[in-house]
Amino acid sequence: MRFYLKFLIGLVLISFLFTVNYITPRYITNQEILTLIEAASIVTGGLYFLFIITDGLRSVLEGKGRFSIIIPNVVKYLGYIVIFISVFSALGLTSGEAIVGGAFAGIVIGLALQPILQNFFAGLLIMGTGFISIGDHVRIMSTSITYTPAILPPYKFFSRDFIEQGVEGDVVEIDLFFSRILMDNGREIRVPNFILLQSSVIGYTSKLSKEFIVNVKVEFPLNKLDLERFEEQIIETLRGFEIVEGPYMYEQSDKEHVVISLKVKSDVENWKKVKSEVLKRLLILRKRLVES
């Protein structure tokens, strides 16, 4: 729904609430009921306009980095404070009494809801420092978020791949209390900000990590391999890829095969495609050698 349409609906809502507060005194004489109606009108109208204002700010500030997160959230919670004080005033309390009462209630509630305050201040710190940002592709490694490490198949223990355990996905929202992560399987996980701030986070879209090193190894029959030319053959086969380490040769325990291993540089977005293509070329080379 467009902003101006929401705004027009808000004007209609305010007009309706104003009409209700104007007409009801003619039919209701109980002052307490009238006061409650006025307070309810303030809450309804205030929250509606607060939501459309914060939504509008998010749309305007989209793509502006951390400001697109901080400013709408600050406006939202300042709006809550204004609505809170306005309701107290409608109930017959002065603004000073409302502030004092709110401060006292805040202390009592704060002691009872300490975990919520931890998430609140952690959210401020996350948004203020850019610990993570909306759109980042991250992996969160924390014992507070359950996950199952990959233990099968057993031969993966001999792999040169570095296994990064944890919850991986795209950051889709950062609120003052929790953050939303859309995982690779399409499911959403909501992580409390306090847990997130205490976790180790791998940023796959960080400005400092634009490159990805791919590990590849393929087994070759020793009797089909030209030991004097194997390195030249591998480099020629992988022409167009940037080999940063290798190719190296390791002897298998059966003494009849060797493993060729190497590392290739890729960008973060396309490393799976690069690894697949490198592996395919090496397998084609092996097939050609075996059939020769």
Q: Is 216 found in the same domain as 196? A: no
Q: Has residue 217 been placed in a domain?
A: yes
In this prediction, residue 237 carries a pLDDT of 87
Cα angle for residues 268, 271, 272 (degrees, 5° grid) = 135
In this prediction, residue 39 carries a pLDDT of 80
In this prediction, residue 269 carries a pLDDT of 76
In this prediction, residue 105 carries a pLDDT of 62
Q: Has residue 225 been placed in a domain?
A: yes
Q: Has residue 123 been placed in a domain?
A: no
Q: Has residue 121 been placed in a domain?
A: no
CB 274 within 8 A of CB 240: no
End residue of a domain, out of 159, 178, 203:
203
Domain that includes residue 218, residue range: 211-291
Question: How many CB atoms sit inside 10 A of residue 178's CB?
Answer: 19
* CATH code, 185: 2.30.30
CB 270 within 8 A of CB 283: no
In this prediction, residue 48 carries a pLDDT of 81
Q: What are residue 169's DSSP bridge partners? A: 138, 183
* Angle, in degrees to the nearest 10, between helices 271-291 and 230-237: 130
Q: Is 185 found in the same domain as 100? A: no
Q: Has residue 275 been placed in a domain?
A: yes
Structure tokens belonging to residue 150: 């990959």
In this prediction, residue 110 carries a pLDDT of 58
Q: Has residue 126 been placed in a domain?
A: no
In this prediction, residue 223 carries a pLDDT of 81
Q: Is 107 found in the same domain as 32? A: yes
In this prediction, residue 154 carries a pLDDT of 55
Question: How many CB atoms sit inside 10 A of residue 118's CB?
Answer: 17
Q: Is 107 found in the same domain as 17? A: yes
Q: Has residue 120 been placed in a domain?
A: no
* CATH code, 7: 1.10.287
In this prediction, residue 176 carries a pLDDT of 77
In this prediction, residue 43 carries a pLDDT of 81
Total of domains in the chain: 3
Q: Is 224 found in the same domain as 163? A: no
* CATH code, 234: 3.30.70
CB 281 within 8 A of CB 237: yes
Ranges of residues in the chain with a pLDDT under 70 are 1, 3-4, 63-70, 93-114, 145-164, 205-209
As a whole number of angstroms, the distance between CA 265 and CA 49 comes to 51
In this prediction, residue 162 carries a pLDDT of 60
**pLDDT tens by residue, 136-162:** 888 888 777 666 555 555 555 455 556
